[in-house]
Structure 1
């Protein structure tokens, strides 16, 4: 296994606008998974979010855009998330409507499964403020550092 680079980030976020905004949720234990070679492991500090682990292949800018999108949502920096692709995901909706769509999401755990060209394949788990968990799988399309589309399917 190659060397690991450790980054610190907090990734509590909403899955999609329909899943709402991070608030407070039930903390879960960190997930331990075998890390593929040449992988960056992001482990957020225990600050307002449960311990989460996200894996992303390094030096793949399109995957880094998706991670940055969720990091911005986690920090409640909705303007940055809007500029990273929220505007495209809102499909003509307003910033206020899109950002308020995250009102019932406590956090989201996003795992980048793979990247093919400008398509980032992810699994997403979003803990809701009522304690329920919504899971999604699908992809984001990224162009010039901005998410331009999403094809996500809700699994539960």
Structure 2
């Protein structure tokens, strides 16, 4: 027999010997090895691979390169972009989108974010009611838009902005 076949037969015979060698109520049971017929191949069932795990990758949350100042004006701008990233446009509208729309409707303002996958905000500094930021917006086509400028906050909402697109 070939070595591979012999190994399979040996394992099978050893299992048979172990099973037959157990005494039965004090009566001696002879251990008899039954040889597999010639040219018998024992095929092991294929190993079952675990199904692949699904990994969910969420868009990045509002990101800050530097720790965000714990001042209410900066927190308002951060909350605004966090709401946009979560696609909670009503919250973003109430945090200042209404003012940034400059008289436009909620529908047209929120539709303006249809091609934005996520936005990463870096608060550079604050001065009074002004928050100076850098903003990177990933578009649905994979491109990036980079902005720098400031937001003015009053009464817990963004009241104006002066942003310049860098790329």
TM-score, structure 2 length as denominator?
A: 0.63
The reply to whether residue 105 of structure 1 matches residue 110 of structure 2 is: no
Identify the residue that residue 95 of structure 1 maps to in structure 2: 106
| Residue 76 of structure 1, CA deviation | 1.1
TM-score, structure 1 length as denominator?
A: 0.67
Secondary structure, counterpart of 1:97 in structure 2: helix
Residue from 105, 130, 151 that aligns with 2:162: 151
Superposed CA deviations along residues 62-102 of structure 1, whole A, max 9, x for unmatched, are 00000000111111111110000000000000000000100
Cα pair 1:66 1:140 within 8 Å, conserved:
yes
- Which is bigger in relative contact order (C-alpha 8 A, separation at least 6)? 1
Identify the residue that residue 58 of structure 2 maps to in structure 1: 48
Distance 1:53 1:121 in 2: 15
Structure 2 unaligned blocks of 5 or more: 1-55
Identify the residue that residue 119 of structure 1 maps to in structure 2: 130
More helix by share: 2
Identify the residue that residue 136 of structure 1 maps to in structure 2: 147
Identify the residue that residue 65 of structure 1 maps to in structure 2: 76
* Structure 1 outlier segments of 4+, above 4 Å: none
